[in-house]
Structure 1
Amino acid sequence: MIKLVGLKNCDTCRKAKKWLEAEGFTYAFHDVRGDGLSAEDVSGWAAKLGWEALLNHRGTTWRGLSEEQKADVDEAKAIALIVESPALMKRPVFVSGNEVILGFKQDQMDALHALK
């Protein structure tokens, strides 16, 4: 079973859901806004992916942060920001056992197929 973590209104997450269904994957969707995120999950993903990869600096949520919130971001601060504002996380995140995959392009699709 794959856990797909993202936003229900995110176009990329919707494409990922459709692709998983079409490819015959069994998955559970976790909406970060509705279901929230735990610091434990985010720090685990950051340990595997790198917190820099997990933090979305390009979205409107990041642009809406104060300069103080954006300043001196390290791993602990990034994790706290993502837990507080889950839309700051790049998405989708796929979790299967100990495997964590970030994003939805061909490389990620190939990695998901390798999990099957």
Structure 2
Amino acid sequence: MMERLFIEYPKCSTCRKAKKYLEENNVTFTDRHIVEDNPTAEELKGWIEKSGLPVKKFFNTSGKLYKDMDLKNKLADMTEEEQIQLLASNGMLVKRPLIIEDGRVLVGFKEAEWKFD
């Protein structure tokens, strides 16, 4: 079994909530700081494919950087490859927290979706 990877930004309140949930439910995971160890384009491609979600769902649309770069209006004109390269350029653009494990990728924290065996 693949190790469960929890990708977070420690100052993010949603990430802290998600981490607390994992710990309270005795879910084992490897912790990764999204800014210090930003996902690569290759990793992102694999996760996007595995998640079945459009690339847009991986953007942190409520983040300051997303707004400062006016990505709301620019993403539509970018190819999927360009969007992935952009995500790989800065961890603050990536929606978090992320859980990566065998068979699934969870983006953002919705407790109802976060069920583990």
TM-score category, normalised to shorter length: 0.7 to 0.9
Cα root mean square deviation, aligned:
1.9
- 1:77 paired residue number: 82
Give TM-score scaled by structure 2 length.
Answer: 0.83
Moved over 4 A (4+): none
Deviations 1:42-74 (A, max 9, x none): 11122222202112233101112267x935123
Of the three residues 89, 93, 96, the one matched with 2:94 is 89
- 2:37 paired residue number: 35
Aligned ranges 1:59-70 → 2 under 5 Å: 59-65=63-69, 70=74
Q: How many residues align?
A: 111
Deviation for aligned residue 1:101 = 1.1
Identity %: 29
Identify, as 1 or 2, the structure richer in helix: 1
Give TM-score scaled by structure 1 length.
Answer: 0.84
Structure 1 gap segments, 5+ residues each: none
Are the aligned partners of 1:8 and 1:14 in contact in 2 as well (CA < 8 Å)?
yes
